[in-house]
Amino acid sequence: MGIKEQIKSVLREAEIYRTQGLFNEAMVKFKHASELIEKNVKPENGRQLIDGISKKIELLKQTIAKYNDPEKPPEMPVEIQNLIKAKFSFSTDKESAALDGAIALTKFGQFERAIKEFKELLKMDSFRLVAAKNIIRCYFASSSPEEAVSQYKEWLTSDLFASGQLEKIRIFLENLLKEKGIESRLPAVTEEKAVIKEEVAPQKGPETAKPEIKPVVKIPETEQEEEEFLDVSSVGIVLETEGKKQPEIVLDVSFQSGNVVSLIVPPREKTLIEYLKAGVRLSNVQFYSPIAILNGSGVVSAFSRIGSGPKMGNYSLDLKMFTD
């Protein structure tokens, strides 16, 4: 295939994705076409094509921004929130059921109540890290990344977390900020604790001075550190129908608990929706994190249509992840 045919083919794919509502996939194809033109076509011949593609990319960005900037979810009555918690708390033990209920509230856009529930879970050693990360996700989901940063700084001044846990939270938050295009240098755990300790250290005269003590003391990890799975920001699913592999469907992760992620499936993904049901195994899955891309598989642990709230009409997918 010559370069001209290759460019035409990529542009056709981009248009197909765009007309099917697969805007992110269309964006990738348009950018690829633009790169091919820049590298292989003389500037005087390719400039008009590139300008046209640039306009289409800009329109796609506006469309994507519109989809990703929903109005603030309406606050449901407390009775309805309690019903959601009870209905989606499948675990048998009280603590795990509380985590299920908090995550369920996030799926219905009840982030303020969910944050309160997650903060209660911070009191439990085995759920502390997962609860903290989901509190941060709630702030991002409600378009309040600055609140997430403030929360992290507040945790730095408390003795709730071990240093190792705080460092994991810092890295997690920094990666989410980068994904949103927000430049922010978060204070490192040792830096902040040093400042705090120096500020509160009593000032003593020379006659009572003791040997110098370093202001930073490494706090060891908790003895029963919760089992962790790599933090995943999005999941790519490739279905095979009639012996043919379909284009990858990339879904953003709403919330994560260990190796289970919650994903929102838009109604336009009809083929995927028809395929999914509880217990189905997806054999061709990619897990995207800020530091790696892992190949693996997944088992659908729950799949249902969202009937109310800001995500009404979409589908909620809980996927248990397995890496190769």
Domain match, 255 and 314 both: yes
Domain match, 202 and 87 both: yes
Residue 30 sits in which domain range? 3-67
Domain assignment present for 223: no
Q: Does the pTM of the predicted model rise above 0.75?
A: no
Amino acid in the structure at residue 278: A
Residue 51: pLDDT above 90?
A: no
Domain match, 249 and 203 both: no
Domain match, 51 and 17 both: yes
Confidence of residue 232 (pLDDT cuts 50, 70, 90): confident
Which segments of 111-248 are extended strands (E)?
234-237, 240-241, 244-245
- How far from each other are the two terminal CA atoms of the chain, in whole angstroms? 35
Which has the closest alpha carbon to 172: 130, 141, 119?
130
Long-range Cβ contact pairs of 301-309 (< 8 A, separation 24 or more) = 301/260, 302/278, 303/276, 303/277, 303/278, 306/107, 306/108, 306/264, 308/76, 308/108, 309/73, 309/74, 309/76, 309/107, 309/108, 309/109, 309/110
Domain assignment present for 13: yes
Domain match, 267 and 176 both: no
Domain assignment present for 219: no
Supply φ then ψ for residue 203, to 5 degrees: -90, 120
Domain match, 248 and 144 both: no
Cα atoms in the 13 Å half-sphere on the side-chain side of 74: 8
What token pair was written down for 233?
């920001």
Domain match, 87 and 162 both: yes
What token pair was written down for 179?
């994904």
Last residue of a domain, one of 41, 67, 93: 67
- Structure confidence by residue, pLDDT tens digits, 131-177: 999 999 999 888 888 999 999 999 998 889 988 899 999 999 988 88
Confidence of residue 270 (pLDDT cuts 50, 70, 90): very high
Domain assignment present for 59: yes
Domain match, 83 and 42 both: no
Look up the CATH number of the domain holding residue 198.
1.25.40
The span from the CA of 301 to the CA of 257, in Å, is: 13
Domain assignment present for 214: no
The span from the CA of 5 to the CA of 266, in Å, is: 33
Confidence of residue 72 (pLDDT cuts 50, 70, 90): low
- Structure confidence by residue, pLDDT tens digits, 237-264: 999 888 888 889 999 888 888 888 999 8
Domain assignment present for 229: no
Average pLDDT over residues 32-46: 84
Domain match, 91 and 197 both: yes
* Mean of pLDDT over the chain: 79
Domain match, 100 and 184 both: yes
Distances in Å between the Cα of 161 and the Cα atoms of 42, 127, 157, 216, 320 are 58, 12, 10, 15, 27
Give the number of domains in the chain.
Answer: 3
- Within 10 angstroms of residue 36's Cβ, the number of other Cβ atoms is 17
Domain assignment present for 22: yes
Last residue of a domain, one of 25, 44, 67: 67
Look up the CATH number of the domain holding residue 48.
1.20.58
pLDDT value of position 65: 67
Which residues are within 8 A (CB) of 31 and not within 5 positions of it... i.e. 6 or more apart? Answer: 57
Domain match, 28 and 82 both: no
HEC letters along 22-79: CHHHHHHHHHHHHHHHHHHCCHHHHHHHHHHHHHHHHHHHHHHHHHCCCCCCCCCCHH
Domain match, 173 and 126 both: yes
What token pair was written down for 9?
């083919």
Look up the CATH number of the domain holding residue 299.
2.40.10.220
The span from the CA of 322 to the CA of 193, in Å, is: 37
Last residue of a domain, one of 27, 42, 67: 67
The span from the CA of 269 to the CA of 264, in Å, is: 11
Domain assignment present for 36: yes
